[in-house]
Structure 1
């Protein structure tokens, strides 16, 4: 079934929902509570999704879709291979920075939202592999095994996602991504 197009009002509502849950998380909200906070009816919310779980999944997908577009725009505006890797991971960090700890914890605790985050993490790891491969081919990086560097990045991103890096280092997700960017760029430098 093809995705339905949202009206301007629905898109605005989804944007407001994203802003709310990014700031406060979503586990404690009920549909009644969301409708009240967003100043709409539950019927209006049901036009976006048929359940709270579906609504939250749509909001998380919407957030990461916009975040991915913003990250890719920054990379497209950059030409040097090392800068592209640094810009990519720094831009990912910038997109994660507004996410509250409660939102990240809630997202990790719910299968449907965790799946969205995991899919985005897999995409990010694949993108790192691609950027490293391009840099090696251009002679800008040492002849490293790009798939291995991508796997190391993926493992680190997954640990960040699970909150393990924060627990072990005290770094928030965004700061951990910034450190990962620095580590990778320095590791592959000629």
Structure 2
């Protein structure tokens, strides 16, 4: 039994010692934040202008020590304001995101798997709050370079009513709350 324990100990030591240092190393971390404001001159196809203010704070792991190519944890706040009547809608999103290239060349046609968790969208209107999306969701997305081609939902442990409405729910709720409908 003692010999078995010694052999197991040696095997474990070799296995751990033989692991690539990138797996054992701390991930390269970058913290970021930014704020931007602009006017959307044709908000949700209404022909009406809406002022938009975006605040983003996050931490990204550029060399994650996990089996993914990229990972971040981000908090986003977007305020939509109708300049004609002062009505506002606040969108909040927060949570982790990871991305892995599953095929192709990032400079050409390629497919990525995108995993989101947390709150992908909550709208606060004067009438209350509307959840656009929350929970775990996995996408398979295809791009040609930076150009988006298609998206398939692989796993949806939501609710994600905005995605299920092909993103129409966002425009329905915000245009009405801003007095644009």
- TM-score, normalised to structure 1, is 0.29
Which structure has greater helix proportion? Answer: 1
- TM-score, normalised to structure 2, is 0.30
